[in-house]
Structures are given as structure tokens and as C-alpha cells.
Chain A
Amino acid sequence: MLEIINCQIEAKTWRITLPDIDVKKGELLVITGPSGIGKSTLLHWLLGNIPQHVAIKGQIMLSGINITHLAIEQRRVGLLMQDVYLFPHLNVQDNICFALPKNPQRSSKKQRRAAAMNMLEQINLAHLGTRYPQNLSGGERSRVGLIRALANQPQVMLLDEPFAALDPRTREQMGAWAFQQLTEQNIPSVMVSHDVEDIPASAKRLCLADYYQASEQK
């Protein structure tokens, strides 16, 4: 379970004070708001990527542990971005391999690759295993991206407008499929989205504009 406590986003001329938020396992929180207000920035802060131009204060608790000051690599947080950023020098199978967590049972390369292929087979994408990211379609790329992120067994998943680049039909399919996966694996998720249609009805919403305050300070 993810908890965000006492979060405040401060810029030079404005401030956003958020209420305490919690996202339980399998739940989805959608952050909405106008462009530029800091949705992605907030998401990146959750990841551990400290933003440069605004100051964000607050506490992040993940399964009871305070991860606010931990480095990114220690947080077990997954990230899926709009440009999926599959590693171009690795094929699909190896991309997923890369994300597999260190497991003493599966330490040899062969075993890891087998596990990756397994995951691909589960979603009927095994035929993509040896392809390189440049040779995938947009939808395939998004799917592989999500599988890769899930392969890492994160404790919380962050999604930054993940389907915005896809055509409406694929977007719908991808969205449904993604949430299904996340719910099945019981992972709390935080998503940033522009498109209201993307959001499943069961999701919690947080509109940053609601908490926006222009500050008088210099």
C-alpha cells in the first residue's frame, strides 16, 4: 500500500497542498489537471527522481516503510512512460530479462531468459521475443513496456500518460488490458492522464488544480 503524506509542491509563484492519499493494493489513483501543473513532476518525485525546478516536500510510505529519502534503485517502484523507452540495444526478450529482479534461483542467463519468455507467452507475445524495439508497432511496444515493468515485481506502478501516443482503439484495448494486469497482480498504481476516457470507473481521482494556490511570496 502506498501512502503520500503532507505533500506540498512549491514553485516560485504557486503552491499545491495535497491531502493525505493512500492507494491500496490493486487500486488505481489517477492524477489529472491542466498541462504543466506538475503531474509528471509529482510522479517522478514518487519515483525518486528529484525535480529541478520545483520543490516537493512530503513523506512517501510504501508498505509501512518510509521511502522518501531512498534512492530510486532501492524503492521498488515501476515506471511506464509515454515513450516506452525499450532499450534499443536489446531485443524484447532481453529487455524483459533486464528488468527481472535478482533471484538466486534464477541467476544464470539461460534461466532468466526462459523466465522472460514465459512472461511473454502468458500474454501471447512470444513471437516478439527476438525482435528489436524498432521493429514493433506502437501497441506491441506499450504491451512489452508494461510487461517489462511488471517483470521487476514493483511494489507500486507509476504510469505517465502511457497510452497517449496510441490510436484511440488501441488505447482503449491497452488501457483495459493494463489495468487488468495491475489488478490481477495486486499492485497499487498511480497514473497521470489527460484523457478522462482512459480512466476506469473504479479509480480514485486526484485533480491537482483543486489544490492549487497562487502564492504571494517572492
Chain B
Amino acid sequence: MMPTARIRRIALLSGWLLVSLISLLPILGIVVGLWPAEHITFADIEAFLGYQGLSASVFMTLFSALFSTLISLYIAFMVYSQYHLNRRLQSFEKYLAPLLSLPHLAIALGLVFLFSDGSVFFVDSGLPRKGLSTLIIAIVIKEVPFFLLIFSAIGRQLPIKYWLLQGQALGYQEYRCWWFLVFPALLKQSRLALLAATAYTLSVVDVSLLVGPNIPELFAVSVYRWQTSFGVGEQALAFWANVLLLILLAVSVLILYGHEKLAHAGCKALATKGSRFYIGSINPVFKAWLPMLALLTAMMVLVFALWSFGFNWHSDSFAFTQLTTRLWQDEWLFFALPLQNSLLIGLFSGLLGVAFALLALELQRQKGKYWPDYYWLLAIILPQLSMVLGWQILHIWSQGGYHSGWIVLSHLPFTFAYAYLVLKGPFQSVEPRYELLAASFGYSPWQSWWQVRFRLLLPAIFTAFAIAFSVSIAQYIPTLMLGAGRVTTITTEAVAIGSGSQQDLIALYVLLQSILPFMAFFVAALLARRFRGSMGRQDARNY
């Protein structure tokens, strides 16, 4: 075997090894974490199933997860269809940055701050303070920009403009072309993002506690409660609840796949029916979505900022002149270090996550076979608390000490999963002939990979990094369980503060939590525009 071929083989093998390790961590974690410490019997299932309100709770949870995800998907698609080809609005990605930086809980808190009685902006939105609809809205507000970002990354690689031209030439209105021609392609490539969003909503605890219904509680909250109480029999309930949670996750995966098939079939049927008559377009409304969301987010940020500067509008005695930076000054000593930790951990785990995602994609491409999507996303599909508990047990067992390296490692499965889901679509859409050409020019496989494929993927890579970075910033449970207080991040501080009732402090820490992701998304959007991708800018002069 020639030396270069041997090096190549070793490189490939080690690549596979690394990637397997990262993707197996979630499974390892969940197995160790769910392993019952006490004796669990099947008799406990009876106790579990007899829990009052279980079926309603499960149904509500499943419904809220799937409904919020799908509705976000459709809204995002309709918004995307408005913005994609409009040159002036093409830079909408920049505006996504603030929308994406606020963590989910912050959005829910923002809704609470804005729309509660006594608020300066009080508008009776008709939403219950705690209810399923409020929860779904809070989730949708964050998910729509997320899907938009994904569509942006995917759409860059697809010849959408040509499809539309083709369809219109055949006599279909533009928006119908969007549905028949573009939607199926986008849907297929957003599969992973859908999975991630559904898994998140299914297991979200903090947002559910704040704005979700609690008669009955959402299932994830019940699971969390059982898992964190140590009374007699509670741990057995927790075990079976986790089993049910896993089943629910599997069911949602199946439902999403089913939805995809249905949607494809539906679009195909409608397309082949050939009807060309005019249907009233609802699209102009969606042009307003993004500005509306942006306005809402801006208001939330404003409210948080005002509170952090001492604007307490519930106080009986308040004047604008009382605004002060005292809280910021007081707390500066205490959030400087966590902020720094968050930044460094985010950078490392984000970069590594993107690197491993690219590695995993490339290895699969070389092999020619792509593993099932949900395998790579296990970290975000499996119940986080149990999985990280498993890691915690292994970490304690290994007596490895508590430094940031372990935290980076614990964030890695998550950053990897999100980077993978952002990159998969664009990666697969890269025209392989470019690399063929580069080879014909004498570039070795390594060189052509870097100079052609990597280069073409740069915008998507920037997006993937921004998302991975923000995911790392937002991680609470891994940091807490593996850092044991030695490593504090801005999120561990923010979550602890959030469990109290001091509104100004909560507002302050929410803003701090959002600063880093905001910078990441903003920079990524700027860089993505500067470095052209596979299709570059859609210019009217094409063909």
C-alpha cells in the first residue's frame, strides 16, 4: 500500500473512531443514567399508570410538541417564500440574530413581563397566564426564526430560482410553485431540525413551569419532579416515566416521518392534478411576520433592559430619573467570570461540534451510505436529565476532576447534533463535480476538500457554528452536573436567579445570557454574506 493511501486509511479509521465515540456518548449516558439503583418491579407500572391525569398530561405534551413544531415550520416556510428572492430583504438573516439569541425561557419571561397586569405595555392578549396556548406561542416565537435560519442554509444550495421560473413558465402562480416545487425539497432537508424542535418541546421543563398548564402538568414536568424527589417509590415512578418519555420521543419521530411522507404525497398529488386556476394568495400577511417578531423581541429586550436599570413599574413611587446602573455595577464582579467561562466553553465546543459534524458527514459520503438521521441527533432526542446523570456517574467514577475540559466534552454531543442538522442539507447539496474538476487540476483529495467543498460550505458552516455556540451557552444541566459548582457559566447563574422572584436581577441575567449568542449570530450572518456559497446571490441575470 502506498504511504499516502495508508495515511488515508489511518485517518479514515481514526475519523470513524472519533465520530463513533461522540455519537455513542448519548446512548452510554442514557443507559447508565436510567439504570435503576433500586429494585424496580413491574408492579410499579400500575402505580405509575394510576397517576391522576397521566393520559391527559401525555396527550397535551405530545400535542404541544408536534403542533408547535409543525406550525412553526409552515409559518417559517411562508415567511421564507416572501423573503428569499427579494434582494432588499435578503439580508434578513442579520435580523434573525436578535430573535435567536434570547433563550426559550427568556422569551416566555418576556411574554410574562410584557403582558402581565401592571405592565406598562399591558395589552390584554387574551392569553391565559398559564396555558397550553401560551406555551405554544412562546415556543413558536423562538422556533420560527430557527427554521428560517435552517431554510436559509438549505436554500442557498438549491436552485430555487430556477424551479420557480420553470414552474411559472408552465403556468403556475409563483406561490403555488413554492408549495409544489420548493416545499418538498426544503421539508426533506429540514427533517433533522424538525426532530430537534419536537424533542426539545417534548422535554422542556422550565418554560412549561412558567407558562404551561399545570392541571394536569405537562409530562416532562412530572418526569422531572419524580426524578428529583427521593421519597419512597418516587424513583420507581421516575424510571417508568422515563421509559414512557422515550416511547413518546419515538412516537414523535414516527409521526414526523409520517408527516413528511404525507406532505410529499400531497404536494405531488396537487402538482400532478395540474390545476392552474387562481387561488387567493395569503402570502402578503407573512411579509409582516418577521418585522412583527422583531418588534416583539425588541420590546422584550427593552423591557429587560429597563428592569435591569431599575425601572420597576410595579413600584408605587417611580420616576424615570431613578434609572441607574447600580445593579449592573454590583453584579459585574459576579458575572464577569461566568460570562468568560461561557464564551470559552462555547467557542471550543462550538468549533469541535462543527468539526466533528463535517467529519461525520464526509465519512458517510466516502462510504456512500448515510446513517439514519435520528442516530446522529440522539443527544437532543434522548431525555437530557437521565442522559447527563449517566455522564455524571461515569465522570465521578473516573475521578477526573472538575475543569472546563469536561464541560466542553459534555456540551459536545449537543453542539455536534445541532451542527450536523444545520450542515447535512447543504453538505449533501454540494455539487460533486466541483471536486472532480479540482482533482483534474491536480489537487489532492485533502486539498480539494478544503479549497472547494469547505469553501462552498462556508456560509452554512458559519450558521452552524453560531447555532452550536448558542446551544453551548444555553446548556444548564450538563454544566451543573459535571461542573459541580467549580465551573460556573452565565446560564447556571441565570437559571439560579430565575428560580427567585427578583425581576430586575432576572432581567439582568437574561440580557447577559443573550449577549453572547447575539454576537455569534450577527457575526455569522455578516460573514455568510461575505463568503459566497454554492449558489451565491440569486441574480436576475442568471441564464
Chain A residues in contact with chain B, CB under 8 A?
Answer: 47-49, 71-79, 81, 83, 85, 87-89, 98-99, 101-102, 132, 134-135, 138, 149, 152, 154
Contact = CB atoms under 8 A, between A and B. Distances in A.
B3 to A, nearest CB: 14
Contacts of B541: 134-135
Nearest to A165: B543
B532 interface: yes
Q: Which 6 A-B residue pairs are closest in the complex by CB-CB distance?
A: A72-B439, A89-B532, A79-B440, A99-B441, A73-B439, A88-B536
Contacts of A149: 440
A77 B440 contact: yes
B441 A89 contact: no
Contacts of B433: 81, 83, 85
Contact of A101 (B442, B535, B537): B442
B371 to A, nearest CB: 20
B440 A89 contact: no
Contacts of B431: 85
Given A73-B442, A88-B456, A89-B455, A49 B436 contact: yes
A190 to B, nearest CB: 13
Contacts of A89: 455-456, 458, 531-534, 536
- Say which size band chain B's interface belongs to: 20 to 34
A156 to B, nearest CB: 11
A132 B534 CA distance: 12
A87 B436 CA distance: 12
A81 B442 CA distance: 17
B537 A87 contact: no
A66 B116 CA distance: 80
A47 B456 CA distance: 23
B450 interface: no
Contacts of A77: 440
Interface string B428-453: 00010110111111111100100110
B366 interface: no
Report whether over half of chain A's contact residues are helix, strand or loop; otherwise say mixed: loop
B38 interface: no
Nearest to B442: A73
A73 B535 contact: no
The CB with the most chain B CB atoms within 10 A, among A74, A75, A99, is that of A99
B439 A48 contact: yes
B539 interface: yes
Choose among A76, A78, A85, A87 the residue with the greatest number of B CB atoms under 10 Å from its CB.
A87
Contacts of A49: 436
A101 B440 CA distance: 11
Interface in B114-135: none
A35 B448 CA distance: 31
Contacts of A83: 433
B536 A152 contact: no
Nearest to B438: A98
Given A73-B440, A73-B445, A87-B434, 18 more contacts: A48-B439, A72-B439, A73-B439, A73-B443, A79-B437, A79-B440, A81-B433, A87-B456, A88-B536, A89-B456, A89-B531, A98-B451, A99-B441, A101-B441, A132-B532, A132-B536, A134-B539, A152-B442
Interface string B454-481: 0110100000000000000000000000
B188 to A, nearest CB: 23
A127 B537 CA distance: 21
Nearest to B368: A52
Given A85-B434, A88-B532, A135 B440 contact: no
Nearest to A87: B434
B452 A47 contact: no
Interface string B492-515: 000000000000000000000000
B399 interface: no
Given A88-B532, A89-B531, A89-B532, A78 B440 contact: yes
Query: Of B437, B438, B443, B451, which is in contact with the most chain A CB atoms at under 10 Å from its CB?
Result: B437
Contact of B440 (A47, A88, A132, A138): A47
B542 interface: yes
Contact of B441 (A98, A132, A135): A98
Contacts of B452: 87
Contacts of B543: 138
B158 to A, nearest CB: 13
A192 to B, nearest CB: 15
Contacts of B542: 134
Contacts of A101: 441-442
Nearest to B451: A98
A74 B452 CA distance: 18
A83 B432 CA distance: 13
Contacts of B444: 73
A152 B533 contact: no
Interface string B2-39: 00000000000000000000000000000000000000
B539 A152 contact: no
A138 B456 CA distance: 22
Nearest to B456: A89
Contacts of B532: 88-89, 132
A89 B452 CA distance: 9
